Structure 1
Amino acid sequence: MIRMVCRNKVADFAKWKSVFDSHSEAHNKAGLSLEDLWRGVEDSNEVVFIFKVADLDKAKAFISAPDAKEAGDRSGVIEGNYWFVE
């Protein structure tokens, strides 16, 4: 199965997590199922999370959509990376 591994540096974890959680339905519609989420030990505003990917094309469309950028801005994402792996 394909996974999407994501790393975000955020301004405030609590604010980021609130926005992230509010998008769970959108994640599901994009074929993304949260598998795990971690915070950095030395920097709790460093977040790594993994989604199971049911449909690679839907997942790519989701992360490329303007809504994803808006949600990132609203949640305080400073920088982020993602990788599709299997």
Structure 2
Amino acid sequence: MIRMIVRHPVRDYELWREGYDAGRKMRDEMGVTADAVYRGAEDANDVTVTHDFDTLDAARTFAGSEFLKQKMQELGVSGPAMLWFVRRAS
């Protein structure tokens, strides 16, 4: 299992969250097997999202997709995203 972690600021969390939730079907179709959303403890518009995938290739395909780029822009991501991939250590 590969976990993709993305952190970015948004202009309006409530607007962002509504759009994020509306994208569930597309995320499922693109191989996301689980996800979670976190908000900054001091800044509610500081968002961290995790997406799980079966493979690193699937995670990279999702990360580079036009779907993701377009959604981030539409939903008010207001700064650069930090993105990284991890796997559980044994």
TM-score category by the smaller chain?
0.7 to 0.9
Amino acid at match of 2:70: E
Which residue matches 2:63?
63
Give the structure with the larger helix fraction. 1
Per-residue deviation, 1:20: 0.9
Q: 1:8 to 1:33 in 2, by over 3 A?
A: farther
Once the two structures are superposed, the pairs formed by residues 11-26 of structure 1 within 5 Å of their partners are 11-26=11-26
After TM superposition, the score normalised by the length of structure 1 is 0.87
Query: Residue in 1 aligned with 2:76?
Result: 76
Identity of aligned residues (%): 30
Ranges in structure 1 where 5+ consecutive residues have no aligned partner = none
Partner of 2:33, secondary structure, is: strand
The TM-score normalised by the length of structure 2 is 0.84
The gaps in structure 2 that reach 5 residues or longer are none
Distance 1:69 1:44 in 2: 22
Deviating beyond 4 angstroms after TM superposition, the runs of 4 or more aligned structure 1 residues are none
Aligned residues: 86
